[in-house]
Each structure stands twice: as structure tokens, then as C-alpha cells.
Structure 1
Amino acid sequence: MTATQPAAEAPETAGETFDSLNPATDEVVGTYPVHTREEVEAAVERAREAARWWASLGFDGRAERLRRWKGVLTRRLAQLCTVVRDETGKPVADAQLESVLGIEHIAWAGKHARKVLGKQRRASGLLMANQAATVEYQPLGVVGVIGPWNYPVFTPLGSITYALAAGNAVVFKPSEYTPGVGKWLVEAFEQVVPEAPVLQLITGFGETGAALTKAGVDKIAFTGSTATGKKIMAAAAETLTPVVIEAGGKDPVLVDADADLDAAADATVWGAFSNSGQTCVGVERVYVHERVHDEFVAKVVEKSKDVRGGSDAAAQYGPMTMPSQLAVVRRHITDALARGGKALIGGVDAVGDRFAQPTVLVDVPEDSEAVREETFGPTVTIAKVRDMDEAVDKANATRYGLGSTVFSKRRGVELAQRLRTGMTAINAPLSFTGIASLPFGGVGDSGFGRIHGPEGLREFARSKAIARQRYTAPIALTTFTRKEKTDALVAKLITVLHGKR
């Protein structure tokens, strides 16, 4: 691969195609190929050669290209937001918010890759004092990224950007609901990296994603449902391909007796209903201290009254991007009401054919679907607890563990540390998503591995340990000519160093 060789286009196919639709109107906004297994494998082979060239640029060369890429995204931000709106239905302002956060991550990864992944000296210890010890982080090679539809810019860039900064080539399969956003991002990258197919696009359905998993990539980064994540893992296990999984969540908010209730209520409403509730770290459950429960609920209800989903300019959020999710939202509300819950705002009738209006539920049993399962829609359950110990216990009583939020003036950090989640925000909604230096990921059925921050860069690199002998040791340990007195000396030395009671 030479620096003047043109980049290959995304694999073309004369076969099956599919349409991308605006979920608010069903208008066709684009038509894309369904790439076959052979076409996916060909893309990975092209990426393999491109990866060698990309890695050869070094940290500074890659950082310069990433700076130029974020410049393109920034200057063309309005166009990108329009593409996001057309494929997801979300308001342009929400599309801009996620795009701006994605740009921030490009900037951070490019700037910090050398510091995080560059060669580092390590102490060699007394017994190996004649050795110079170093660790460096080398690119994996080719990373396959399978992205979601709910945040089609911010979420996949959390993997793509860090994989690129670490020196890898990337083959990207966006969701079948947002292929146009993926195409836009890849074409913007090709403007600043025309020499080689370092970032390629493949489109299609689940079969295309499965083909990418089995195409010989060096790692898969997947964001989506827990069920699909398990399938990705099973397929990757056949070739021992490592994976990073960012799956679903059932994220709680804890409201202590001393919390700023206005701020907590506003965060709850925004976290539960923005993006039509289609947010993996969005608010789905709230546990409120009994002393402030009624006042808090009243504030949430009041703030929810003016929130509305729709396709007009006055709507705060758009349609459900994936139509089948409407049935899940409707089922969870129905189950909650049938089991004694009350809808203070919304209810079953709030779920329409394209849009779901806000629903606030109280008195919902902890074993109901609305509390146990990820709803991924504009609903929230609010429960009264006697104290924050009970709140922590109930918040942790889930197989998920992605994000969480705590509102407390005195005990915020303590409560945050006790929550079994990958990230926690204190006294602000979802603030960890906007801090590029913080790792992002979950535990349990929310997945494993981390994107963003130093941990995200290392996720897409392999550590390489090197020990170099600087001089011949006076005591030879690794030889069959070693004397008994040498062993005795070593025993005495290790006792002095580590044998104290």
C-alpha cells in the first residue's frame, strides 16, 4: 500500500437492496445494498492492507488526519444533522447534540493516543535490575464496528474514533435503520484519508453483521440489544475473536431527602423522554426518599405536561425509530397497570402508531416488566423508598448495569460508589457521556469492555511487553549452571524483601 494509492470504494453489489425510511413519514430517504458474506470478506481484506499503511503514519500522522476529519464534521454539521433527522426522526437540535459529542471524542482520542498508547517504562524489580522493561500498545489490525440506530453518530464514533486513533482500520456496519448516517461519516473521512480504505462502510441486516463477525477481523465492537450481543459473542467465539459489547440498560435515578428536587425532576423528565426514551443510559426507574417522594412526583408530573413527541417543530422529541419497539412500550405499560400501577401522565393510549407520548408510572411492583425489562421508550417508573439503602438495593436488583444518576447534596459520591453500574452521574443527568476522558460501558447484561477515555484507546490495542538486558547480572538465575549458593542467596534476599510479618 502506497500513500498515493486511491482508496477503494465501499463494496458494491448488484444484488439485493433495502430502503432507509423516515420513521415519522415512511418516506424513502435512501436505498442501500445488502452486502453479502463474500463482499464483507473482501472489505476486510482491503482493510487489512490499509491498516498497515495507517499504522505506519504513527500517532502524529493519525492525529493530524483525525483533526481534519473533525473539521469536516464541524463545518458540515448542519448537513450531518439533517441526515440524522431524516433517518431517526429526532429533532435537529438533538441530532446536533449527539454530533457535537462525537466531534469531542474525535478530538480527545487523536490528541491523547500517544500519551496513552506510547512506549512506557516499567520498573524491573531488584532481582531483574539489569533489565530495562517497557510496554507499548500496538494496533490490533482490523476492527469491525456494528453500530446502533438510536444515536447513529455519537455511539459508533465512540468505537470507530478510538480504534482509528490506536492505529487500526475499521469496517463499519451501521444499523439498517440509519445507513445514510454511516455513509455520510465514512465519506467525510475519505475526504481527509483518500489514500487507503482505512474506514469502510458495509450495509445490510443481521446477516451482514454476522458475516463481519466471522470475516477475520481482529476485534468486534458491538452496540445493541443484549440478545444480539450474545449472538455476536457466540459467533466470535468460534475464532476467538475478542469483542466489546455495549448492550441495554435499565438505568436508575436515586433521589435523596436533601436533593435539589427541581434539578432531579428536570433530569428525570429529560432523561426519560428525550430521544423518545430510546437511550441506553436514559432514565427508566427512579427511587425517591419517602420524605420528598410526593413533592418530587408532583414536580415530575408538572414538568412532563408540556413534553410532547411529534414531527412538528414544536415537538420535544420524534417518533420511535424502530416501529416494533412500540409494542414493547405498550406491553410494559399494560403490565404495570394490570399489576396495580398508576399512570399519572400518559398510559396505554399514549402509545400510537409512530409516536409514544410521555408516561409517568407510580406504585408499580418491582417484579413487573416496566421495572425489570428495558423499555426503550418514553416511560418512567417512580418508587418510594424508606431510605437510600433501600434505594441502592432496589437499583442494583437487576441483571443490567450500565448508567445511573444520584441526586444528593451530602451522600452523592458514597451512593454512586455503591451502585453496580459502569457510570454514575451526580446531581446532573448523564454527564459522564459528555466527558471524553471517562470510560463508557456496563456490567452484567449491559455488556463488558469500555469505549471512550484511555480505557477506550487500550480496548483497541494489544499490549507488547519488552525486556532488554542492559548488562550481565552478577547473579545468574536462568541457567543450569546456577550454584547452590546462588539459590541460598536469593532465598535470603527475598526473605529480607518480603518476609516481614
Structure 2
Amino acid sequence: MNATIAPHMQPERDVHADARAAQSRWSVTPMRERLRVVRALRHLIAENADRLASIAASVSDRPIAEKLVSEVLPLADACRWLDKCADRVLATRRCGSRRRPFWMQGVTFEVQRQPFGLVLVIGPSNYPLFLPAVHALHALAGGNAVLLKPAPGTRHVALAFAQLAREAGLDPALLTILPESVQAARSAIADGVDKVIFTGSSENGRDILATLAETNTPSVMELSGQDAVLVFADADLDLVVRALRFGTTLNDSETCIAPRRLIVIGNVPEQLRQFEVPERIPSFEVPEGLRKLAGGASHRITDETRTRPGRGAGNSPVDSAVPPGRIPDGDDVRWLAPPANFHRPSGTNGDAVPPEMRDDCIAPIPMHVVPDEAAAIALVNSADFALGCSIFSRDIARARTLAARIKTGFVLINDLIAPTADPRMPFGGVKASGFGTTRGDEGLLEMTFPHVVAIRHGHSRPHFDAPDQGDAHLFSAYIRAAHGTHRFAAFRDLFRSLITKLKTRKTRP
């Protein structure tokens, strides 16, 4: 079946009331029925893959092939993962007598996963199809209704996805596409939502958090990153160079987990000295952690810093660019320079400064040379942002040991960016890169909250009775018998206390 994708404007209506009414019905819809919609949507995405990619590519004038593999394919994979795994992840967990405390005899309970209700998804502009759509799908699979606020210039992408969802059988009231304006998100929050999933900058995330704090509305914040690439001396350097070229060109480098700094452990290999940063990279400022180590303020490369004397200075594409302040002994900050043959786009001027070094043109990737693993870990963990990190080494065991000490949301070994598109993999950062998780088991669980139902079987409810004289000794003996080291003596005291308790009850009038 072919779907007609028409990114038309939706009529004005009371979206909150309609969404909540639809959600109350959707929440009690059996999981197999919800997933039937997801399955049908997956097939429609496949049949309309080229058209979806074209619509997504129109936002930033990217190649269709890139959008097919970076947005459409991961979205279809996410649908399949939900179809196969959502029932397991959201299944009710029942706890009977296994590992139950002795004094809780007769108690059983079950943990249900309940939908929050109305979820607001605020999407980014860099991946206008995949990111907001996968968040919306996880929320819908969890039994929620969704208000999707697209980034400026991307509403037609969101509407195309919503139309396919409707053709797959989804109640239109369960997925409402809001206007692109910031005010649309503010109005939605003011009217009342039950959870917010935000993808964007740390600054905007803090603004939204301040608003949500007024009503204690929970959220997931998927914020900025300044990801580091760690290179060991034994790394496959050809692979490293290919990875850097891929990471700095994918989606015009508008990817939150694109490489923003390179950390080399030991000497700088010749391949990295000769690596040229591709031409279209956004301007980059030294991360806060690097500024702290350098003792200086925010620093951009300029003609002055390029010619400043120091290790690596000269005609090599890797030149010394030391920010103001002292660099710790044994460390070396250098920069991967842009191509020497890069020319400023037409319509610009300022020939006094070489085009490849102008501040408003391309800024290079900082390369920090450290003597050992401890220094590399300290540098990564000192940064304000902590979304992801990549390690390149032929010694996988060594890389895994290092990865365990890095405090970021994820670490990739011998790869860059691509593994995060795996629908099984949870995604999220810490510190200034946000909190909470999207995608994978953990991301689906984020769309629900644990609702516990406990049952007390039998007639015994001793805790309802007023404490008797001697109960304190009984409780103390039980704690020592259950958890202490001298358990034989404790059991003896417990037995005596129970006998005393029974005798007291018999003599009670």
C-alpha cells in the first residue's frame, strides 16, 4: 500500500482535551494491538523510504543516501525492535515468596508499567525525522499520547511522519504536531503535560527545566556533547583517520556525538599529523574541561596562535595553539588544521588573514597529547559535557578497562557514531549533556512509571496490634538472627522471646 504524504496544516482544536481522551482509551488497549500499529507503520516507512529521506534532506540540503541510512533506516529498525521487544520490556513483574523477608510472610506484589499520560516531545533540527519520531514511538508504545513540537523549519517532516502513523491505524488525536515556535512548547507545558522529552542545546534545556520545575514535571534531557576520540599508540591509524573524516562530515557535522576533540596517548602518529579536517565544520570552542586544564578563557584558533612558536609549529598541518595559561607538564595541545587549499565562500572578504584560519570560517579540532591513560581519563572526565566517547586500540581488553573509568553516557570502541543507531542501545548523557535515557529497554521504560500493587494473604496482621512489653527484645533478636554473624545465639534469644510473647498473650485478659 502506498501512502500519500501531505505535510498540510492541521486544524486548530483543543489538542490537550482530545489527546487525553484518546490516551485514556489507548492506555487500556492490549499491547498486541498497539504494536500492530507500529508494525504497519514500519512497512509504510519502508514503502515511502525515498520520499521520507527527501523530505528530511530538504531541511539542511543533505544527500538522500545519507538521510536514508541516518534517519529512515534507524527509524524502521526502531519500529521492528518495539514490535519484538516492547511486550517483554513493559511486562508486569510479579514477586512472590522468592527472597521475601521472613517477617513479610503472606505478602506478594506486582510491578506494572503505567503510561505517564500526555508526553511532549521537543525535536531537534539536525535529525528532524529519526529523533523526534523514535521518541514519539516509544511514548506511544508505552500507552501515552504525544504532542510533538518540531524544530523551526522541520514541521513538514513531522507532519509526513504523523500522516504515515495515521495510515498505519493510529488515532490522530494520539499524535499531534504542534507549531514550530518556542511559544508552542511553552503553551503546551502551561496547559499541562505529564512528561517532556527534549533534544537540543544545554542552554535551552536549562530554560525548559526551569519551567518544568514549577510543576515538578519529569523530563528526559538529551543535550549537547563535546565528544572525545582517544587514540592509543597501537590503534589502526588508517581506521582512525577514516573515522574522523566520517564523523566530521556526517550530516555536515551537525551531530551531537560528532568528534570535537582528539586525545592522543603518547606521540602523535604521522597519519594524524597529515589529517585534514573536512571543509564544512561548525566553529568550535575549547571545551570547559580543556580550558580549566589550560587555565585560560574560551579560545579559538587565529592567525596569531597558528604562528606561535611551540612544539609542532611550522608547516605541519598540526600546529601548536596553546591557550593562555600553563599547560600541565607532559601535555601538549595542538590543532588539526583545516585544508590548506580551503577557500572562503564567495561574497566574503578580509584577505589579510589566510582564509583557512579565519574565526568565522572553520575552526579546527583540538588535539590534546597526553603521556598515559590516567591523563587521558582525567581530561575526558574533567569536561562539562559527557555524552559519549570513542576509543581506538587493537587491545580490546585494555580499551574496555579504560572505558569503564570514563564518565560519559556511552563509550564506543573502534567505531564512531554509527553504533548508537542500534535500537537496542540506550542513549543519553550525564553532567551538562543531560539526564535520562532514550531508546533501548531503558528508553522505553522512561516512557512509563512503576506502579506497584501489593497483596497481603491470610489473616495475620500482627503489625496492627499495639506493641507489647518485650517486643523490642523480640525485634532485636530477630534482626541479629536474620542478619548478624553470631546467629546461633541470636536464634536462641529469638526462640525465648517468642515463647515469652506467646505466654503473655495467653495470660492476657
TM-score category, normalised to shorter length: 0.7 to 0.9
* 1:294 paired residue number: 269
* 1:35 paired residue number: none
Q: 1:270 aligns with which of 246, 250, 257?
A: 246
Q: 1:142 aligns with which of 102, 118, 125?
A: 118
Cα distance in 2 for residues equivalent to 1:194 and 1:250:
38
Question: For residue 397 of structure 1, what is the amino acid of its counterpart?
Answer: S
Cα distance in 2 for residues equivalent to 1:10 and 1:219:
25
* 1:99 paired residue number: 72
Q: Per the alignment, in what secondary structure is the counterpart of residue 287 of structure 1?
A: strand
Q: 1:109 aligns with which of 82, 88, 95?
A: 82
Q: Please show how residues 413-452 of structure 1 align to structure 2 within 5 Å.
A: 413-452=400-439
Cα distance in 2 for residues equivalent to 1:222 and 1:443:
14
Post-superposition Cα deviations, 1:330-378, rounded to whole Å, max 9, x if no partner, equal xx995455444356324897664899xxxxxxxx9xxxxx9xxxx9988
* 1:208 paired residue number: 184
Verify the 8 A CA contact 1:10 1:201 in the aligned structure 2.
no
Verify the 8 A CA contact 2:266 2:372 in the aligned structure 1.
yes
Q: Per the alignment, in what secondary structure is the counterpart of residue 451 of structure 2?
A: strand
Verify the 8 A CA contact 2:279 2:362 in the aligned structure 1.
no
Cα distance in 2 for residues equivalent to 1:192 and 1:349:
48
Please state if 1:12 is matched with 2:11: yes
Cα distance in 1 for residues equivalent to 2:115 and 2:300:
49
Report the alpha carbon displacement of residue 11 of structure 1 after superposing the two structures with TM.
Answer: 4.5
Q: Please show how residues 229-244 of structure 1 align to structure 2 within 5 Å.
A: 229-244=205-220
Verify the 8 A CA contact 2:138 2:447 in the aligned structure 1.
yes
Q: Please show how residues 120-159 of structure 1 align to structure 2 within 5 Å.
A: 120-122=93-95, 123-159=99-135
Question: For residue 175 of structure 1, what is the amino acid of its counterpart?
Answer: A
Rg comparison, structure with higher value? 2
* 1:78 paired residue number: 50
Cα distance in 2 for residues equivalent to 1:480 and 1:139:
38
* 1:191 paired residue number: 167
* 1:18 paired residue number: none
Cα distance in 2 for residues equivalent to 1:353 and 1:498:
77
Question: For residue 392 of structure 1, what is the amino acid of its counterpart?
Answer: I
Cα distance in 2 for residues equivalent to 1:136 and 1:383:
49
Please state if 1:382 is matched with 2:358: no
Post-superposition Cα deviations, 1:318-339, rounded to whole Å, max 9, x if no partner, equal xx9xxxx77989xx99545544
* 1:66 paired residue number: 38
Cα distance in 2 for residues equivalent to 1:194 and 1:376:
46
* 2:20 paired residue number: 48
Report the alpha carbon displacement of residue 193 of structure 1 after superposing the two structures with TM.
Answer: 2.4
Change (3 A) 1:90 1:454: same
Question: For residue 465 of structure 1, what is the amino acid of its counterpart?
Answer: V
* 2:318 paired residue number: none
Change (3 A) 1:135 1:198: same
Report the alpha carbon displacement of residue 480 of structure 1 after superposing the two structures with TM.
Answer: 2.9
* 1:313 paired residue number: none
Cα distance in 1 for residues equivalent to 2:182 and 2:285:
20
Verify the 8 A CA contact 1:255 1:287 in the aligned structure 2.
yes
Verify the 8 A CA contact 1:143 1:220 in the aligned structure 2.
yes
Aligned residues: 426
Please state if 1:394 is matched with 2:379: yes
* 1:218 paired residue number: 194
Change (3 A) 1:227 1:354: farther
Change (3 A) 1:152 1:127: same
Q: Per the alignment, in what secondary structure is the counterpart of residue 133 of structure 2?
A: helix
Post-superposition Cα deviations, 1:289-345, rounded to whole Å, max 9, x if no partner, equal 223x132414533xx5xx565xxxxxxxxxx9xxxx77989xx99545544435632
Q: Per the alignment, in what secondary structure is the counterpart of residue 59 of structure 2?
A: helix
Verify the 8 A CA contact 2:336 2:367 in the aligned structure 1.
no
* 1:497 paired residue number: 482
Cα distance in 1 for residues equivalent to 2:342 and 2:405:
38
Q: Per the alignment, in what secondary structure is the counterpart of residue 80 of structure 1?
A: helix
Please state if 1:407 is matched with 2:392: yes
Segment of structure 1 superposing worse, 478-487 or 418-427: 478-487
Cα distance in 2 for residues equivalent to 1:171 and 1:298:
48
Structure 2 unaligned runs (5+)? Answer: 1-7, 287-297, 307-320, 322-334, 349-356, 487-509
Change (3 A) 1:298 1:67: same
Cα distance in 2 for residues equivalent to 1:209 and 1:351:
38
* 1:345 paired residue number: 338
Report the alpha carbon displacement of residue 243 of structure 1 after superposing the two structures with TM.
Answer: 1.1
Report the alpha carbon displacement of residue 483 of structure 1 after superposing the two structures with TM.
Answer: 3.5
* 1:255 paired residue number: 231
Question: For residue 224 of structure 1, what is the amino acid of its counterpart?
Answer: G
Cα distance in 2 for residues equivalent to 1:377 and 1:458:
41
Q: Provide TM-score, normalisation by structure 1.
A: 0.78
Post-superposition Cα deviations, 1:394-433, rounded to whole Å, max 9, x if no partner, equal 2222110001101122211112112121011001112441
Cα distance in 2 for residues equivalent to 1:57 and 1:376:
54
Verify the 8 A CA contact 2:338 2:362 in the aligned structure 1.
no
Cα distance in 2 for residues equivalent to 1:135 and 1:255:
45
Cα distance in 2 for residues equivalent to 1:167 and 1:207:
27
Cα distance in 1 for residues equivalent to 2:431 and 2:271:
30
Verify the 8 A CA contact 1:166 1:461 in the aligned structure 2.
yes
* 2:499 paired residue number: none
Cα distance in 2 for residues equivalent to 1:351 and 1:44:
49
Q: Provide TM-score, normalisation by structure 2.
A: 0.77
Please state if 1:281 is matched with 2:257: yes
Verify the 8 A CA contact 2:301 2:364 in the aligned structure 1.
no
Q: Per the alignment, in what secondary structure is the counterpart of residue 345 of structure 1?
A: coil
Please state if 1:467 is matched with 2:454: yes
Change (3 A) 1:494 1:176: same
Cα distance in 2 for residues equivalent to 1:493 and 1:288:
58
Cα distance in 1 for residues equivalent to 2:470 and 2:441:
46
Q: Per the alignment, in what secondary structure is the counterpart of residue 200 of structure 1?
A: strand
Cα distance in 1 for residues equivalent to 2:304 and 2:341:
11
Cα distance in 2 for residues equivalent to 1:350 and 1:471:
82
Change (3 A) 1:285 1:259: same
Please state if 1:457 is matched with 2:444: yes
Cα distance in 2 for residues equivalent to 1:158 and 1:347:
41
Verify the 8 A CA contact 2:118 2:147 in the aligned structure 1.
yes
Cα distance in 1 for residues equivalent to 2:469 and 2:148:
60
Verify the 8 A CA contact 1:153 1:181 in the aligned structure 2.
yes
Change (3 A) 1:196 1:273: closer
Q: Per the alignment, in what secondary structure is the counterpart of residue 163 of structure 2?
A: helix
Q: What is the Cα-based RMSD across aligned positions, in Å?
A: 2.9
Q: Per the alignment, in what secondary structure is the counterpart of residue 135 of structure 1?
A: strand
Question: For residue 455 of structure 1, what is the amino acid of its counterpart?
Answer: E
Cα distance in 2 for residues equivalent to 1:266 and 1:333:
27
Cα distance in 1 for residues equivalent to 2:90 and 2:406:
30
Please state if 1:118 is matched with 2:117: no
Post-superposition Cα deviations, 1:221-245, rounded to whole Å, max 9, x if no partner, equal 0001111101111111111111111
